[in-house]
Amino acid sequence: MLLSIPTLMLVATFIFALMGVLTLHAWRHGVRECTLGYLGLMLLLAALGAILLSLRGMGLDFIALVLGNIVLLLSAAFNWTAMRVFGGRPAHVPGIVAGALLWIAWSTTPGFFDELTQRVMLYSLMVGGYSALTVFELWRNRKRMEVSYLPALLLTLMHTSFYGVRAFYDPGISLEHAISGAGTTATFFAFMLFESMLYAIGIAYVTLAMVRERTELKLKAAAFSDPLTGIGNRRAFLAHGAQLLADCTRRGEPVALLLCDLDHFKRLNDNYGHQTGDQALIAFSRVTSQCIRRGDVFGRIGGEEFACLLANTDESEALRVAQRICSHFHALPLLEPGLLSVSIGIVGSSGGHDLARLLSMADSALYRAKDEGRNRVELYGEGGLMPQ
C-alpha cells in the first residue's frame, strides 16, 4: 500500500473535522439552512468516532468498540437527517437513536468483544441502512427540493453499495493487523477509509451546492413576486409575458391583454384604511387567478393596476373573461356588496405587436372605461361592456 493505515486514519480524522467545521461555519454565518447544521454534526461525529476507534488495542476496547461505533452510527443517522430535513420533512428522533440503541443492547450480550465478523456485519448493515434511507429521502423529495439532487443521490447510492458489500465480504480485521498491512482484509480496510474521505468531501460539497441553488431560487422568486398578493410583479409580468407573446406568435395563435385598474382605490384607502385597501388588492388577485388559466400570465404592475396576458385567446373570449372578473369582484362582500369595482381595458393581437405596444393600447381602452363611468370593460377601438 502506498499509504499506511495510521496515516489514512489521521488524514480521515482531519478531513472529517475540517469539513464539519467549514459546514457549520457556512450554516452559522451564511445560509441558515438546518441541513447544513445536521451535516456539520455528522462530519464532526465521524471525526470523533475515528478518534475513538483508534484507541483499539490500548486497553480501551470498550470505548473504541462501543462508544466509538455508537458515535459513528449517530453520524450516519445525521447524514440521513440532513437530507430528510432538506426535503422538507422533520427530523425523526427515534430513527436517529435507533442504531445507537441497538448497538448498546448488543454490546451487553456475552461474546460481543470476541465476535469481530458479526460486529463488522451488523455495523455495516446499519450504516448501509441509514445510507439507503438517505437515498430514499433524496428520491422521494426530488420534486419538492427543486434543485440538482442527482449528484447527491448517486454519491450516496455508491456509499450505500459499499457498505452493502462490506457487510458480507469483509470478515473484519483487528487494528493491529490492519496497521501491519497484511492481507487483502487490510487493503479493504484502507479502501474503506479512503471511501469515507471521498464521501465526506463529496456530500459536503454537493449539499452546500444544493442549499445555495435553492437559496438562489428563493431570491429569484422573491424578486419576481409581489409580496402582498403573492402573484408576479411588474418585472415577472414583462419577462413571462414577452416569452408567452413570442411563443404564441411563433405558433400563429392570438393573444389578448387585459389591463385592470381598481376603481376609486385612493378613496377606499382614505375612508377605510390601508389595511382594507390591501385586502381589496388580495381579493382581486384571487378572483382573477380563478378566472384565468394556468398558462396565462398575470401580474401586479402598479399600485392598484394589474395585467393579464391570455394565451391563444381571441377578443370575444377575452371579453367574457374580463366580464367574469369584473362581475365577480364587484359581488365580493368586502365591507358591503357592490363597494368594489374594477375597470378593464382589452386589446387583442394576432402577432406583430410587442408587449410594450399592447400595454399602451390596453391603457387607452382602460382610460376610456374610466371616462365612461368605471366598473366596465372596454375593448380597444370599440364600445365598452358593463359586467353581467
> Of residues 4 and 17, which shows the higher confidence score?
17
Rounded to 5°, the CA angle 130-133-138 comes to 130
Q: Is residue 288's pLDDT more than 50?
A: yes
Mean pLDDT of 14-24: 93
pLDDT band at 6 (very low <50, low <70, confident <90, very high): confident
CB 130 within 8 A of CB 186: no
pLDDT at 203 over 90: yes
**pTM, to two decimals:** 0.73
Q: What is the pLDDT of residues 70-117, one digit of tens each?
A: 999 999 999 999 999 999 899 999 999 999 999 999 888 887 877 888
pLDDT score of 116: 81
- Please give the domain boundaries of the chain with CATH numbers for all domains: 5-223 (1.20.1070), 234-385 (3.30.70.270)
The per-residue pLDDT for 16 is 93
In angstroms, the CA 44 to CA 17 distance is 5
* pLDDT for the residue 182: 54
Confidence band (pLDDT; 50, 70, 90) for 219? confident
383 confidence band (pLDDT: 50, 70, 90): very low
Our CA dihedral for 229, 231, 233, 236, rounded to 10 degrees, sits at 170
Count the alpha carbons within 13 Å of 98 in the hemisphere toward its beta carbon.
Answer: 12
Please tell me the distance from the alpha carbon of residue 195 to that of residue 178, in angstroms, as a whole number: 16
User: In angstroms, rounded to a whole number, what is the distance separating the alpha carbons of residues 232 and 11?
Assistant: 51
Torsion of CA 25, 218, 87, 135, to 10 degrees: -80
Residues of the chain above pLDDT 90, percent:
59
Per-residue pLDDT averaged across 139-150, rounded? 89
What average pLDDT does the chain have?
87
pLDDT of 125 strictly over 80: yes
How far apart (Å, rounded) are the C-alpha atoms in residues 77 and 318? 56
pLDDT greater than 60 at residue 174: no
- 335 — pLDDT class (breaks 50, 70, 90): confident
For residue 214, the surrounding DSSP H or E stretch is helix 183-223
Q: What are the cell numbers at 306?
A: 394589474
Per-residue pLDDT of 256-281, as tens digits, reads 999 999 998 988 888 889 999 999 99
The confidence score (pLDDT) of residue 387 equals: 40
